[in-house]
Structure 1
Amino acid sequence: METTLLYVIAALGVSIVVNILLKKLGVSQIIGYILTGTIIVYAFDLRDISSSHTLEMVGEFGIVFLMFTIGLEISLAKMGTMKKEIFGNGLMQVSFTALLVYLIAYYGFSLPLQTSLIIALSFSLSSTAVVLSYLKSSKEIYRPYGQISTGILVFQDIAVIPILILIGFMTSEANESLYIIISNTLFSVLLVLVLLFIVGKKMMTWLLHFSASSEVEELFMGSVLFIVISASLLAHYMGFTYSLGAFIAGMIIAETKYHHKVESDIAPFKDILLGTFFVVVGMKIDVMVFIDNIFFIVGAFVGVAILKSLTIYGLLRMTSSHRRSLKAALALSQVGEFSFVIFALASMGGLIEDELAQLLVLIVIFSMMVTPFFISKIGIFVEYISGKQDVVEDMSALSARKNHVIIAGYGVVGKFVTSFLDDLGASYVIIDNSHKHVMQAINDGHEAYLGDASKNSILDAIHVDTASSVIVTLDNPEKKRLICEAITNHTKNVNLIVKVISLEEKNSLKDLNIAVMVDGKVEVARVLVERMSSCHFKLKY
């Protein structure tokens, strides 16, 4: 026990020192955690426990909590709007990338069929941990290319399930027929969805309601942890990944009013466990094997990155712009962490040689180490290649802004609002989550920024605390409520004016501190009566 505590304290101390140094150099903290794992292994000669199943499970829960927070961003309604990104782009990306890698491995390197298939499926996956961590921290997850990348990553996590089933079928221990395996899997999928979306949704909502009403933060936090871990264990018990259960739980909570509180409360646990995951990754590095095969590892990574980038770009270019396609392709060019699981199972099942499996693991680790260095430079690279700047997202110009009007949404109503504010000579800024709308506003000569007004970081950036008013012009009721909740929770000193389209929507927003709710139908009726009275007056006299 004392020895274990020594290792934990040493890892904590090393990670702090390393990350402080790397932070000053502008290097991602992911690299610091990976280096910490490698340093600890060699400092205390822990190479025998670096492949510990318990240690890997602890690290895997970093991915679990990351996927839970991603689920909070993607409700069922939003997943319906992201069908193309998830099931269209995602399916094509995994299928075509796997096919190309398989052909190269089988015909180019003369590897066995089963080995080539496993490598192809593994290399078709990208790193959820690295890419989504960057997209969330940089707020680029709300940009079009970030949404495309997120959709593909979600599909990749779903695709892990049939990949693991296929490996189980190919191993010598798989005595059941493929029909029985698929039937059992489909039954398990149906059971998990029923338990989580029907039974689980009611239980989650009830538990969050009563723990929140108790006004004891520890009870609410405990309820959230219970929900995440229970959903993860249920999914794993039914034969799926832990992270899939957590992702579904996040999607369910995303449709409740506790969405923002859960997201802020769970963040420290997610960050700590995600750091642990990368420490475990660093512990898997065999420095001598890496040095002896460095040219092969680097060459394989470069080849895979180029192949994946070209494939993803070509597929996305059919439906998206050049810039979005190129950014998403470069962001997803690395090999993902789920490849560790695939290579481990394949090695244990005798489907791939141990030495080759170790080299492949090192390629994955090198890929995850290099990615944080270049993923933050993708925007600069694409701007250099394209020869033009993307929509401006730097909000530093708002640092001294006071008594300004914030317009949330630049649709039809938003355009009329800017016109009337121009007549009044009022100072205003536009915030919209649509890249298209922001570009339209900028082209119309307005000051506009790309961002999600339901996020506290965006509200801080546009200085909602010092604004005179916020006018919400969106049509989507769910998004409108999220924005209003975020603003009323963020500040009590701003006049919030919201457009509503029905009495039901107006009643649903009554619990929020909204200064004025403008019902479009009521206002039209009022104007019609006023015009009728004016005409009647003129005719009479």
Structure 2
Amino acid sequence: MSSELTSSNFISDALVILGAAGIVIPVFHRFRITPVIGFILVGILVGPFGLGRLVPGHPWLFHFSITEPEALDPFAEFGIVLLLFTIGLELSFNRLWTMRKLVFGLGALELLIIGALLAAALTMLGQGWSGALALGFALALSSTAIVLPISGTTSPVGRAALSMLLFEDIAIVPIIFLLGALAPYAQADGLDGLVRTLWQGALVIGALLVVGRVALPPLFAQAARTKSPELFLAASLLVVIVASLATSATGLSPIVGALIAGLLIAETEYHGEVEGIIEPFKGLALGIFLITVGMSVDLEMVAENLGPITLAVVGVLLLKTIVTGLLLRLMGARRSTAAETGTLMASPSETTLIVLTAATAAQVIDPETARFWQVVTAIGLTVTPLLAMLGRSIGRRVEQAPTLEPADEGEPSVLVVGAGRVGRLVADMLATHGKAYLAIDSDADVIASATRDGYRATFADAARGQALERLGIAKAPAVVLTMDEPVLVQRLTTKLRKSYPNLTIIARARDLAHATALYRAGASLAVPETLESSLQLSEAVLVDLGVPMGPVIASIHAKRDTFREQIRREAQLDHKPKLRTSIVEAG
């Protein structure tokens, strides 16, 4: 009887979750609002403090409420694991290496300063020093699960947020062990446990890096040859789960293993397909997590403590916004980036709830205090998308940057992505020959400078949302990618070619190898910087030596054409069977 009841509860909960996803996602998408808010509100409505409270008097509500919130915890944790995996897919080891100063500089300062200030404030309010320390660092954390999908990882705001969030994900391990060391029953072995976890974790991470680099390319190549999307999905999930279990076995968080798995796959040519296949599962699992966050909010408790809760939420948000913004400015970030990032990073994190649970178990804080700050955290997570919109608005006003606006009607404009030195030169040549253009950039300072100098430019992040669609890319005769970010250029080329098969895409390449990769990604023409500089040097020396200009220019054009044909040929020969096409056809 008990197993039948459990099965019935599981089916009922599953129906509620799937029904919520089927309603929340399209409705909130229709009004261009992130579904994050919707999932949390659904959790409040259907949870034990919402409709679940009415089930004893109205049994039929059982089918519209979550009766056992604890049963959803494994699914919610899996959603976070998949989220960190997809974040890893968007990164690379080279990119992380270039970000090391931000991660261990900005990230460490942000967490330590905010944690210390919050702990000091809580101590003055009467909280014991150990509990204040635990609460301070818990509330100093920001939400990886919500912030990065909003900010992305390629814009100035996204890079700043990513560096701080990466350090927070690393710091969660010593924070949890610190709580264990503070517990009355763990005084003797807390530090030993931390040291053991760190050296064992380092060994496991090293093993994952070595084995992953050797084993993953042939594994995914074999999956691709089968043209079976099911096998490809199974291989992806296998890698995530094995890596997560390996890091969990040493005491590290499973999200560390998921992030490493994503980084390893990002180094292969299959990362785009893996990201596309995992995305729906990640979105649903993340939705389950957000529903569990909403279910922890007791509206009666909120009503009874409305004043203290409001003060706590506002105080935490203001302190984190100010400190993060000031740190970014001190480290050289632009005013718009500092204002937007500080506001976006202001709310607590989903990992705050984990730290609160650990602090309660360690008897550092009492259960009543933990419940109060759980509600504060849930409210903070709910308003994060609103903070993102507020931060974006403040950033634009601070920089007085033009807002995103559609391209002018009339002759379709060439979209020049990037308004820096190269983008301006392309715009100058287009204008010289009477061709309409629109330069876009995600850096408010660059846009402000370009518009002051008379260029037709507007603020937009080509890697986020529907920015290019709103700017008229469907009618654009061509798109010119001028950014000095090889990974971003390649991903944007892939995305544009998939969405607009007939679009002319001219892309700036760093070298011949990058140009080959861009041709494989779908570029109509890739222009390597090293090739062009070599040809210009050759032209300059030949003319200076007295060779007539006509033959020099002709030979330069001939050599350029030869190189382009060679790069295209190498791209075709080196291009393995197109995984994305084969999977779509197989499906």
TM range (shorter): 0.7 to 0.9
Q: Cα distance, 1:447 vs. partner?
A: 2.9
Out of 163, 172, 178, the residue aligned to residue 166 of structure 1 is 178
* Cα deviation 1:89-112 (Å, max 9, x = unaligned): 211111011111111122x12222
Out of 269, 278, 281, the residue aligned to residue 266 of structure 1 is 278
Secondary structure of 1:430 counterpart? strand
Q: Tell me whether 1:533 sits opposite 2:541 in the alignment.
A: no
CA contact (8 A) 2:154 2:488 kept: no
Q: Cα distance, 1:55 vs. partner?
A: 2.3
Q: Identify which of structures 1 and 2 has the higher relative contact order when contacts are C-alpha pairs closer than 8 Å and 6+ apart.
A: 1
CA contact (8 A) 1:407 1:430 kept: yes
Q: Cα distance, 1:482 vs. partner?
A: 3.4
* Residue 35 to residue 212, structure 1, CA distance change in 2 (3 Å): same
Distance 1:270 1:458 in 2: 24
Q: Tell me whether 1:121 sits opposite 2:140 in the alignment.
A: no
CA contact (8 A) 1:433 1:451 kept: yes
CA contact (8 A) 1:454 1:484 kept: no
* Residue 314 to residue 506, structure 1, CA distance change in 2 (3 Å): closer
Q: Which amino acid aligns with 2:351?
A: F
Out of 107, 114, 128, the residue aligned to residue 90 of structure 1 is 107
* Residue 83 to residue 399, structure 1, CA distance change in 2 (3 Å): farther
Q: Which amino acid aligns with 1:131?
A: V
CA contact (8 A) 2:340 2:392 kept: yes
Distance 2:476 2:340 in 1: 34
Residue number in structure 2 paired with 1:99: 116
Residue number in structure 2 paired with 1:390: 401
Q: Tell me whether 1:180 sits opposite 2:192 in the alignment.
A: yes
Q: Cα distance, 1:51 vs. partner?
A: 5.8
Q: Tell me whether 1:442 sits opposite 2:460 in the alignment.
A: no
RMSD across aligned C-alpha pairs, in angstroms?
3.2
TM-score (normalizing by structure 2):
0.80
Q: Cα distance, 1:168 vs. partner?
A: 1.9
Q: Cα distance, 1:338 vs. partner?
A: 0.8
Distance 2:51 2:199 in 1: 48
Out of 119, 126, 130, the residue aligned to residue 146 of structure 2 is 130
Q: Cα distance, 1:315 vs. partner?
A: 1.9
* Residue 367 to residue 503, structure 1, CA distance change in 2 (3 Å): closer
Distance 2:106 2:380 in 1: 22
Residue number in structure 2 paired with 1:426: 435
247-256 vs 502-511, greater mean Cα deviation: 502-511
Residue number in structure 2 paired with 1:373: 386
Q: How does 1:341-380 map to 2 (within 5 A)?
A: 341-380=354-393
Distance 1:255 1:400 in 2: 43
Q: Cα distance, 1:248 vs. partner?
A: 2.1
* Residue 180 to residue 6, structure 1, CA distance change in 2 (3 Å): closer
Distance 2:39 2:550 in 1: 77
Q: Which amino acid aligns with 2:450?
A: A
Q: Tell me whether 1:2 sits opposite 2:1 in the alignment.
A: no
Distance 2:93 2:23 in 1: 42
Distance 2:510 2:158 in 1: 30
Q: Which amino acid aligns with 2:116?
A: L
* Cα deviation 1:308-355 (Å, max 9, x = unaligned): 222222222212233322222211111111111111122122222111
Distance 1:116 1:194 in 2: 36
Gaps of 5+ in 2: 1-6, 56-64, 552-587
Distance 2:77 2:213 in 1: 24
TM-score (normalizing by structure 1):
0.86
CA contact (8 A) 1:37 1:281 kept: yes
Q: Which amino acid aligns with 2:143?
A: S
Distance 2:258 2:378 in 1: 25
90-99 vs 110-119, greater mean Cα deviation: 110-119
* Residue 3 to residue 511, structure 1, CA distance change in 2 (3 Å): closer
89-98 vs 522-531, greater mean Cα deviation: 522-531
- % same residue: 27
Distance 1:129 1:517 in 2: 35
Out of 143, 157, 163, the residue aligned to residue 155 of structure 2 is 143
* Cα deviation 1:173-229 (Å, max 9, x = unaligned): 436545533431321232232122221233233222222232222222222222222
Q: Which amino acid aligns with 1:3?
A: N
Q: How does 1:255-404 map to 2 (within 5 A)?
A: 255-319=267-331, 320-383=333-396, 386=398, 389-394=400-405, 396-397=406-407, 402=412, 404=413
* Residue 15 to residue 465, structure 1, CA distance change in 2 (3 Å): closer
* Residue 436 to residue 209, structure 1, CA distance change in 2 (3 Å): farther
CA contact (8 A) 2:114 2:136 kept: yes
Q: Cα distance, 1:280 vs. partner?
A: 0.9
Secondary structure of 1:317 counterpart? helix
Gaps of 5+ in 1: none
Distance 2:327 2:425 in 1: 38
Secondary structure of 1:376 counterpart? helix
Distance 1:116 1:206 in 2: 50
CA contact (8 A) 1:401 1:463 kept: no
Distance 1:270 1:409 in 2: 31
Q: Cα distance, 1:166 vs. partner?
A: 0.9
152-161 vs 114-123, greater mean Cα deviation: 152-161
467-476 vs 200-209, greater mean Cα deviation: 467-476
522-531 vs 331-340, greater mean Cα deviation: 522-531
